[in-house]
Structure 1
């Protein structure tokens, strides 16, 4: 017989010595810091180009409007997919911490699905690999699973099919 579920208040959790912040998802600020550094590098590169090529204010305005147009086009047409692709690719290249976290996260999806009886079909670890495999810009990383229609068509239940693999 199971103990009935009940919702605890924050005060009850604190009284029992449970740290509620530990129940939340961990925050990874790796991509945020990489994005800020890229923005800073773009600004510094713009200032350096301005000084090197002696752009006048009108040229700076047109160049800025061009970049803002491309950024808006990406956000509207591709839902920010190109920016995410660039950021994820740079993140995997620069930060080993981010690369390892993505690998461990996707391995967790893969393993749990397999143990529960859902067959993993494949996985991607980067946005670039997802773009090559799936043709989609808005996937950072992911694990694809065999759907149940396929299993019914083949005539196996998921648990039997997992045992055969």
Structure 2
């Protein structure tokens, strides 16, 4: 089978051919951004409400706020924001069917294309929580794992024998 040689096009060549380069990029999904803003709003409104309902003193509110800021900073520095991403992704999958479906379709695309071009898929994860349980890694929303080439070469050698 003969393939067309790969060629890198300049931005000017793309514009001359009527191709908008930004349309080739991944679409922007604002679902997680809106969920994060809603959580921040709930925290901003829930804090004063809890203060009034539970009768916390201003000193207790200060200590609680400093504790939350410490945990947020620890997550940002030590885990590169992984715990926050895990919580946000879990809430996104739980409350937004649109976000869940987009992630499922995206990973199915990786899985299918890899299989069709001859790369063997080994597994996949659809949520950050699932990735943490299976792979032990934070900061992964979802992913598809593939069989490495050493395994494929080893299997090929056994099939020749």
TM range (shorter): 0.7 to 0.9
Partner of 2:79: 78
Q: Aligned pair 1:88/2:92, yes or no?
A: no
Q: After superposition, what is the alpha-carbon deviation per residue over 1:85-131, rounded to whole angstroms, capped at 9, x for unaligned? A: 11001000111111011011101110111111110000000111111
Q: Which runs of 5+ in 1 are unaligned?
A: 161-165
How many residue pairs were aligned? 157
Cα distance change on mapping 1:156 and 1:59 into 2, 3 Å: same
Q: CA deviation at 1:56?
A: 2.5
Q: After superposition, what is the alpha-carbon deviation per residue over 1:36-91, rounded to whole angstroms, capped at 9, x for unaligned? A: 10111111111111111222222221111000011111112222111111100100
Partner of 1:67: 68
> Partners of 1:4 and 1:55 in 2: how far apart?
66
Q: CA deviation at 1:150?
A: 1.2
> Partners of 1:106 and 1:141 in 2: how far apart?
7
Cα distance change on mapping 1:4 and 1:88 into 2, 3 Å: closer
> Partners of 2:53 and 2:88 in 1: how far apart?
27
Q: Counterpart of 1:25 in 2: which secondary structure?
A: coil
Q: Aligned pair 1:111/2:112, yes or no?
A: yes
> Partners of 2:38 and 2:105 in 1: how far apart?
25
Root-mean-square deviation over aligned CA pairs: 2.3
Question: Contact 2:11–2:21 (CA<8 Å) still a contact in 1?
Answer: no
> Partners of 1:148 and 1:3 in 2: how far apart?
24
Question: Taking structure 2 as the reference length, what is the TM-score of the superposition?
Answer: 0.86
> Partners of 1:55 and 1:32 in 2: how far apart?
31
> Partners of 1:95 and 1:64 in 2: how far apart?
29
Partner of 2:35: 34
Question: Taking structure 1 as the reference length, what is the TM-score of the superposition?
Answer: 0.84
Q: Which runs of 5+ in 2 are unaligned?
A: none
Cα distance change on mapping 1:105 and 1:60 into 2, 3 Å: same
The match for 1:7 among 1, 6, 9 is 9
Partner of 1:142: 143
